[in-house]
Amino acid sequence: MTKILGISGSLRKASFNTALLKAAQSVAPDEITFETATLHAIPLYDGDVEAASGVPAAAEELKQKIGAADGVILFTPEYNNSIPGVFKNAIDWASRPPADIRKVFGSRPFALAGASSGNFGTILSQNAWLPVMRTLGADLWAGKRFMLPKAGTLFDDDGALTDDDTRERLRGFVKAFADYIAARRAR
């Protein structure tokens, strides 16, 4: 059984990326355990806070979930053509202290997905993650990226994915990532 962790980089209740994360979880094949994580309650990174009291509990919980997963999918919004600050902040906390980077990120498979109301489906945000993942030593899966443009037309008011073609494409993306993880483990 392959264990995938999905993290939505948005705090909004009606986030397209949280909806996409939930859709991915619902279409994941049976041989995949698909868990989710939230960024809620993770404070802004502050080295003085870290020095005084260590990594905050919410950030430590995220670190533990990443470390326990066989692979991680970042469901990233795109704000001002880049990574949302709240998402980058959470990953910054997960990389603390530096001695834990290898344990949390080192060679762990990561994939990128994102939904946007615009026409380009988070391509710039996904591109902005590339140097971050490389710096952390993560194994950024180059097989596919999942970009969903015009997301406002593909989800209903409750956040359910309404487009069958997108659902099938998402299922294929999750399965291909899981297959990549399994192939790496088999080496």
User: Other CB atoms closer than 10 Å to residue 147's CB: what's the count?
Assistant: 18
CA distance 133 to 147: 18
Q: Confidence band (pLDDT; 50, 70, 90) for 30?
A: very high
| pLDDT-derived band at 149, boundaries 50, 70, 90 | very high
Structural domains in the chain, CATH included, are 2-186 (3.40.50.360)
What distance in Å separates the CA atoms of residue 58 and residue 55, rounded to the nearest whole number? 8
pTM of the full structure: 0.97
What is the Cα–Cα distance from 122 to 143, expressed in whole angstroms?
17
Residue corresponding to tokens 């919980």: 61
Tokens of 138: 């993560």
Burial 52-79 (b: 16+ CB within 10 A, else e): eeebbebbbbbbebbeebbbbbbbbbbb
Average pLDDT over residues 29-47: 96
Q: What is the pLDDT of residues 163-187, one digit of tens each?
A: 999 999 999 999 999 999 999 988 7
| Residue 111 one-letter amino acid | A
